[in-house]
Amino acid sequence: MAQRDHGAAAEMLDELESAADRLGEWLRTHIVPVSAAVIGLLAAAGLGAWLVSAREGAEEEASSALAQTRADYLSAMGAQPGSIEVPEIANPKAAAEIRGEYEKRYAEVAREHAGTVAAALASIEQAGLLSADGREDEAIALLEQAFAGAPTKNAVRGVVAQKLAQRFEAGGKWAEAAERHEAASQIADYPLRYWALADAARCRAMAGDAAAARALYDRLDREAPDLPLSDDQRAQRLEMRAAAE
């Protein structure tokens, strides 16, 4: 069985994150809702609509700042207009300097727009640049902070949690990775939550916690019985169940 299988959600998660040309629209459709209870209390004072408008405005501004930073980074790395892939630069020193500059710019977006969806995504981009420069511990710490500060009840929390899980997987920290995948699977608005659950089961098995892995696979069978799994993961599930008989 492949030990470095990055998981059921990895490719879908990367595609979701890297589609820069659709980023603005994605962000705008994931505006964090203001609590209905708070709106009810403020409606009599005529402040409810203002708060909603202000929140949407903050997300719009943050989205624009993130999209501009991403576009500038692609341009600095020599990407063709309209491209969403970061090209390789032949000069490693020049590439490192550009990454360093844009690591700071993404940090600025996250700081200035804290609490927004775009701030969480900016931290993901920043963590990727830190990791590319060999600063893995800093990247993990940043993602932990981003998860804690991400808007509650929002799909972006699932994205951050799984990006963090992938960092732990890369370091062979399977139990920690499983915890983050499980956290993502518990976010109702996260469209990849069942893929995250499958990844959590896989990581529990890799961590040697067969009972927890079986429990997660059983939950997956109940909640998403038609979810397609890789051949490796189907084999792993069978092994877990056979060992319990």
Q: Are 154 and 116 in contact (CB under 8 A)?
A: no
Q: Are 55 and 31 in contact (CB under 8 A)?
A: yes
C-alpha torsion sign, points 73, 74, 76, 77: positive
Average pLDDT, the chain: 81
For 130-168, what is each residue's pLDDT tens digit?
999 999 999 999 999 999 998 887 899 999 999 999 999
Q: Amino acid identity, residue 53?
A: S
- Sorted by where each begins, the domain ranges of the chain are 31-153
Query: Which of the residue ranges 39-48, 85-94, 111-120 would you say has the lowest mean pLDDT?
Result: 39-48
Q: Amino acid identity, residue 187?
A: I
Check pLDDT > 90 for residue 93.
yes
Q: Amino acid identity, residue 244?
A: A
**Per-state percent for the chain, helix, strand, coil, to nearest 5:** 70, 0, 30
Check pLDDT > 60 for residue 215.
yes
Check pLDDT > 80 for residue 29.
no
Query: Which of the residue ranges 16-20, 45-49, 122-126, 213-217 would you say has the lowest mean pLDDT?
Result: 45-49
Report pLDDT for 120: 92
Query: Which of the residue ranges 126-135, 190-199, 233-242 would you say has the lowest mean pLDDT?
Result: 233-242
Report pLDDT for 243: 81
Helices (H) and strands (E) counted in the chain, each on its own, are: 12, 0
Q: Which residue has the tokens 């098995």?
A: 205
Q: Which residue has the tokens 């202000």?
A: 54
Check pLDDT > 70 for residue 182.
yes
Report pLDDT for 198: 95
For 38-68, what is each residue's pLDDT tens digit?
334 334 444 334 334 445 777 888 888 999 9
For 219-232, what is each residue's pLDDT tens digit?
999 999 999 988 99
